[in-house]
Structure 1
Amino acid sequence: MFGATRRRHIVSVWFPRLPSDRALRLQPVEGPFALSLRTQNSDRIHCLNPAAEGAGLHLGMTLSQARAFCPDLQSRPADPVQDMRFLQGLRRWAGRYSPLVGLDGCDGLALDIAGVDHLFGGTDAMIGDMRHRLTRAGLTARIGLGDTPGAAWALSHHGGGGSDLADLPVAALRIDPDTVTALQRLGLRTIGDVKATARAPLARRFGQGLLDRLDQVMGLRAESIIPLADPPHYAVRLTLPEPIGLTADVMAGIARLLGRLCNTLDQHGAGALALRLTLRRADGESRRVDLRLATTMRDPARILPLFAPAIEGVDAGFGIDQLRLEATRVAPMPQQQIATGGAGSEAVADLITRLGTRVGLDNIRRLSPNDSHIPELSMALAPDGGETPPASPRLRPHWLFPPEPVTARGPKPPQQFNWRRMRLTSAEVSGPERICPEWWRPDRDGPHGIRDYWRVETRQGPRLWMFHTPQNPGWFVQGEFA
């Protein structure tokens, strides 16, 4: 048996039905169930529950074939993104057993339990507790214990209780299916068969990768578990020895929490756009205060007064014994140079936030870029959410107004024309910039049809933004540059 003289301290947890288990936890069903994923221009089976496997279905078959074999099949679309988030949550949960937990593909975990298994009464007791908790959560899990990550993976995916690594199939070496098929044709069906074969012929035929995988399973080649860093947690809590009820005391507690929270935000170069304050009363009930900010902030002195109006209206009951403050929405906020002229923008943002707490931040609107290349449709009123609108990548006039017709002919800008009772002469022109209509609009052949825009500088001073309409020949002025 490989690794018999070494202490087994690597645990591999494989979730063979992770997508379907996650989906059934959210909405349980009875009978055959499958998740489908769009691949090769068809919906194919991505994951099955035991009832569907018992009905003869298998991974990779089309959903229509599966329904022909099993008319009672219930299915839903798979969501690999949510599956990965769920696996990340399991990784954080596995931190109760070991500080070194890493992802093993998209459906497994790897744990290094060296030096911590005695805290759970031994390795067998730890694995038993792990299996019990996962089963109670409705998750199918196969757990392998080995002295290397490769050995633990092989036992979790292809082994059973008391399995010997030498007796496991060659697929347990984590090699591609084509190599597995080629080894089996040569009569090499188990890891023991591969180990007993001369290495030089194997390397010449299958490459060094096969031998590296074999050495990793045997422990002759190092392989480490890389734990992932947890995302920053922007929440702080303050538990009080005695309940409080005065507004001044609550504000003092918020000030302490803000100092800690803003330090965390500053360390990660982020600022808060929305905060949630949870006040737990002595009778067990809680009161929540949500604060949306007009811009990213991490200055406790600016944020604290914004809580005052909402705190005054909170019913403290028999007193508040715990405060929890969380930044529910954050955004990057790099370090900025302190300048004497920056107080004005901060005052405006604070004013918008104060007004937003009274009338709702969604009711305070501003012009924001709209997803349209047609000039008069490129801006729209939108709630002030705190983000700075992106600048337009194209040169646009400082003043934009509805198109005003001018008398001119031909596709080139006119040398002389009348506009707003002025006789103007073109001095320098640049263009054209063709803007085509949006095909999904019913009036694409009307005022929003094809336009050729020109920048026209006149001898009299005005610098105009003019366009010509080829489909209905005519010239218009729509903007003026400063």
Structure 2
Amino acid sequence: MFVGHKKRIVCMWFPRLASDRALKVRPVDGPFALTLSQHNTDRIYCLNHQAEALGLHRGMSFADARAFCPSLISQPARPDLDARFLTALRRWATRYCPWVGVDGEDGLVLDISGSAHLFGGEAGLLEDMRARAERARMGVRLGLAETRGAAWALAHYGQTTGEINGLPVAALRLEPTTITALQRLGLRSIGDLAVTARAPLARRFGAGLLHRLDQAMGRMPEPINPDPEPPHYAVRLTFPEPIGILSDVMAAIARLLAALCAKLHDQDAGARKLVLTLRRVDRGSQQVELRLASAMRDPARILPLFDRGVAEVDAGFGIDVMRLEAVIVEPMLACQIGTQTHQPDRLNDLITRIGTRIELENVQRFLPADSHIPERSFTIACAAFSDPAQDWPGHLISHRPRPIRLFGPEPITAQGPQPPQRFRWRRMLMTTGRATGPERIAPEWWLQDDTWRSGLRDYWKIDTREGRRLWLFYTPQNPGWFVHGEFA
């Protein structure tokens, strides 16, 4: 007859996970705290031992904390980095057992049933956890019990093992309002709650209270669901004989791309950055980096984009291992199945090809901006990381055209509010043939702009007899004429 292992759960709580992570990157000798803006107020998010010893605590106003401790060193909190760090700790904890899950924002829960003997028993396993956390300069508190709820209670309220009846009701992971109400009724410990009639508790506090109590006592199961490992977008190819001819390398890349793009397709994702590593027989290696203008997973489109980078590789005495990895991946919507054949995005392919020569950031496009000021009516964005504009604001369409060339205002000699019949611009004498306007543009008073401090501008489109089509403006509050642009 097979006898199963008794359920044993370990809770690892890192009470200062955020500050420990930050101090691992940049150690500080003295009181330290991370701050986070909440409701337009900077508050203490996490702090180290020295700061706690001075009476500071989480949720405290940062201004009050600085008043209590002028020597407090602080930096902004990064919850996103804390989450990534906790994920890395979860992967590390799989050394103890395969069933490891994330518990809140600063804890892990492990099902060590049947694996403690690998570390000399439960005491040896817990000691190994403490020693490794201490070497990593991470504060940790451990709880070991037969249920997840009991392990959490022991870790958060100062006991590693033992009974939970003497622990406060807050150890049941209840809402603060429920905890306060129970304490007012004189139910201060889990033991007090366990011997109280269940029906009145359910009527007053709902089923959630009894649900948490039953989980801690083992009367209701609470599974541990490990997070799935994120997909790994990398493929590798080893050759029995070294290769060095360009055509052979490109053929190998085609095989790698087919396997990698199949993985991307299964995950409804596309690659934005690919790194090809080529290892030579002398153990040296070279990398070819390819940044794409849009998420792609079509091997036929990606393969030609490697031509330039691979051509510059020094194969030496030959390449025996090639590895291709998608280091930046984005979600990619599945294409609708229909009768029409999908056409490759030629513009994105062109941007990628140019970007491999001059860097993607240097391939730019114009986008409309919400401003009637000519200089601010557009922005310049990286073409690879922005979508083309589908429509431009009304003041830029044909009935109010803008010049194709816009430059800084250049003064000309003229008087009066009406366009001059003759004027000199850039050492050229111009004669006005037709004048269209005026279009009055007021400055955006809420912005500081030295070039528009003169006030209103009356713009005119001037067709000169010499063939130049200029954009002039007149400033009525400080009389003067300027050339601001030129039409095609």
TM superposition score category, shorter chain reference:
0.7 to 0.9
Residues 142, 160 of structure 2: 8 Å contact kept: no
Residue 447 (structure 1) shift:
8.6
**Partner of residue 368, structure 1:** 366
**Partner of residue 307, structure 1:** 306
**Partner of residue 485, structure 2:** none
Within 5 Å, which residues of 2 pair with 1:300-339? Answer: 300-334=299-333, 335=335, 339=340
> Do structure 1's residue 440 and structure 2's residue 447 form an aligned pair?
yes
**Partner of residue 467, structure 1:** none
Within 5 Å, which residues of 2 pair with 1:159-238? Answer: 159-238=158-237
Q: Which moved more, 1:140-149 or 1:387-396?
A: 387-396
Residue deviations 1:294-314 (CA, integer Å, cap 9, x gap): 443222122222212221211
**Partner of residue 34, structure 1:** 33
Q: Structure 1 393/151 Cα, relative in aligned 2: closer, same or farther at 3 Å?
A: farther
**Partner of residue 456, structure 1:** none
Residue 25 (structure 1) shift:
0.7
Segments of structure 1 that go 5 or more residues without pairing to the other structure are: 408-419, 424-433, 452-470, 472-482
Q: Structure 1 116/253 Cα, relative in aligned 2: closer, same or farther at 3 Å?
A: farther
Residue 262 (structure 1) shift:
0.7
Residue deviations 1:62-121 (CA, integer Å, cap 9, x gap): 334434444433222222232222222323333444444332211112233345555556
Q: Structure 1 361/77 Cα, relative in aligned 2: closer, same or farther at 3 Å?
A: closer
Q: Structure 1 448/441 Cα, relative in aligned 2: closer, same or farther at 3 Å?
A: farther
Within 5 Å, which residues of 2 pair with 1:332-481? Answer: 332-334=331-333, 335=335, 339=340, 342=343, 345-346=345-346, 348-365=347-364, 367-374=365-372, 376=374, 377-385=376-384, 387-392=386-391, 399=398, 401-402=401-402, 437=444, 439-440=446-447, 442=449
Residues 144, 151 of structure 2: 8 Å contact kept: yes
Percent of paired sites with the same residue: 53
Residues 437, 450 of structure 1: 8 Å contact kept: no
Residues 293, 386 of structure 1: 8 Å contact kept: no
**Partner of residue 139, structure 2:** 140
Residue deviations 1:243-282 (CA, integer Å, cap 9, x gap): 4433333323322221111112212222223222122344
Q: Structure 1 280/117 Cα, relative in aligned 2: closer, same or farther at 3 Å?
A: farther
C-alpha distance in 1, partners of 2:78/2:261?
Answer: 35
Calculate the aligned-residue CA RMSD, in Å: 4.3
C-alpha distance in 2, partners of 1:321/1:232?
Answer: 26
Q: Structure 1 178/243 Cα, relative in aligned 2: closer, same or farther at 3 Å?
A: same
Residue 378 (structure 1) shift:
4.1
Residue deviations 1:15-70 (CA, integer Å, cap 9, x gap): 10011101101101112222223345543322221222233333333334434444
**Partner of residue 75, structure 1:** 74
Give 1:374's aligned amino acid: H
SS in 2 for 1:237: strand
SS in 2 for 1:389: coil
Residues 8, 145 of structure 1: 8 Å contact kept: no
Q: Which moved more, 1:114-123 or 1:149-158?
A: 114-123
Residue 236 (structure 1) shift:
2.4
Q: Structure 1 390/228 Cα, relative in aligned 2: closer, same or farther at 3 Å?
A: farther
SS in 1 for 2:290: strand
Give 1:30's aligned amino acid: D
Residues 31, 73 of structure 1: 8 Å contact kept: yes
Q: Number of residues paired by the alignment? A: 435
C-alpha distance in 1, partners of 2:301/2:453?
Answer: 52
Residues 368, 392 of structure 2: 8 Å contact kept: no
Give 1:355's aligned amino acid: I
Within 5 Å, which residues of 2 pair with 1:228-307? Answer: 228-240=227-239, 243-307=242-306
**Partner of residue 151, structure 1:** 150
Residues 438, 444 of structure 1: 8 Å contact kept: no
Residues 22, 83 of structure 1: 8 Å contact kept: yes
Residue 353 (structure 1) shift:
3.0
Q: Which moved more, 1:272-281 or 1:376-385?
A: 376-385
**Partner of residue 474, structure 2:** none
C-alpha distance in 2, partners of 1:231/1:449?
Answer: 58
Q: Give me the TM-score of the superposition, normalised by structure 1.
A: 0.75
Residues 46, 59 of structure 1: 8 Å contact kept: yes
